[in-house]
Amino acid sequence: MASVSNKRTTLKKILPKTPSGIAGLDEITEGGLPKGRPTLICGAAGSGKTLFAIEFIVRGALNYKEPGVFMAFEEKSDELAINVASLGFDLEKLQKQNLIKLDHVHIDRSEIEETGEYDLDGLFIRLGHAIDSIGAKRVVLDTIENLFSGLGNETILRAELRRLFGWLKEKGVTAIITGEKGDGILTRQGLEEYVSDCVILLEHRVCNQISTRLLRIIKYRGSIHGTNEYPFLIDEDGISVLPITSLT
């Protein structure tokens, strides 16, 4: 068994991880998100996807000196800034310090009617500029649903997604893409299977009128990780995941 080595500590270095900076998550993932690869954050409306993604960018900029680009297809930059202000995140200041870059992409009706679909190449150019302008190491696309909802043909959809994920990998950035779970067009197609190395599901479950927020790692290629459902909180300190069950 020449090429089988069992020394786990050695091998762990091979799949590099980036600490998310989100309390509790890096513990469950044994080090954070896959470095230089895209992660898919799924969940229904209000489950916390945008907060998760923005905290990933802010913590990266502040705690790990990794500048980050946040590309929003829904919320405008100033709205976003207001929305997370109560969490103690001062997006404007971070922007001025070139630690983060917020970009709101508006997808117009006329644009869709003409071409039938959004131009991915244009997105690459724009995102590339944003990354280069601050030397970004982290990228967020919030949400992928908006980008692709007009694409009817499933095979082309998958090919385009693969192109997007491939482009992000080539850029070497650690990326978060958010998407709707279950009801959305893309995830209904099972896109997480084909295009993502790491898939995390956020849920907001109401049971007997009491609500709980839960996080679960659906898939993490190349990594051992906690596989249970972990409760998490959203409060004035952002997101805190409680790693209250032991690792598998």
Ligand X SMILES: Nc1ncnc2c1ncn2[C@@H]1O[C@H](COP(=O)(O)OP(=O)(O)O)[C@@H](O)[C@H]1O
Which residues from 197-216 bind its own copies, rule CB under 8 A?
Answer: 197, 199, 204, 206, 209-211, 213-214, 216
Among 105, 163, 171, 240, interactor with its own copies by CB under 8 A: 163
Both tokens of 108, joined, read 């117009």
Q: Does 80 bind ligand X (CB under 6 A)?
A: no
Smallest separation (angstroms) from Mg ion to the CB of 106: 16
Looking only at residues 140 through 169 of this chain, which bind ligand X when binding is defined by CB under 6 A? none
Among 20, 29, 39, 50, interactor with ligand X by CB under 6 A: 50
The span from the CA of 130 to the CA of 70, in Å, is 9
Q: Does 83 bind its own copies (CB under 8 A)?
A: yes
The span from the CA of 48 to the CA of 56, in Å, is 12
Place of tokens 């694409």: 151
- Whole-Å CA distances, 233 to 91, 113, 201, 243: 21, 41, 15, 12
Sign of the dihedral defined by the CA atoms of residues 70, 75, 77, 79, in that order: negative
* Residue of 155, 200, 150, 193 whose CA lies nearest to 175: 200
Closest to ligand X by CB, 19 vs 43, is: 43
Q: Who contacts 155 (Cβ-Cβ below 8 Å, separation ≥6)? A: none
| Residue 158's binding partner out of Mg ion, its own copies, ligand X, none, with CB under 5 to 8 Å set by partner kind | its own copies
Q: Which residues bind Mg ion (CB under 5 A)?
A: 49-50
Q: What is the CA radius of gyration of the chain?
A: 18
Closest to ligand X by CB, 4 vs 45, is: 45
Among 84, 127, 140, 175, interactor with its own copies by CB under 8 A: 84
Among 29, 47, 146, 196, interactor with ligand X by CB under 6 A: 47
- Beta-bridged to residue 229, according to DSSP, are 216
Q: Does 185 bind ligand X (CB under 6 A)?
A: no
Answer yes or no: are the C-beta atoms of 168 and 205 closer than 8 Å: no
Smallest separation (angstroms) from Mg ion to the CB of 51: 8
Looking only at residues 191 through 210 of this chain, which bind ligand X when binding is defined by CB under 6 A? 193
The span from the CA of 171 to the CA of 134, in Å, is 14
Both tokens of 85, joined, read 């202000």
Among 86, 208, 211, 246, interactor with ligand X by CB under 6 A: 86
Binding window for its own copies (CB under 8 A); candidates: 101-109, 121-129, 132-140: 101-109
| Residue 233's binding partner out of Mg ion, its own copies, ligand X, none, with CB under 5 to 8 Å set by partner kind | its own copies
Q: Does 190 bind ligand X (CB under 6 A)?
A: no
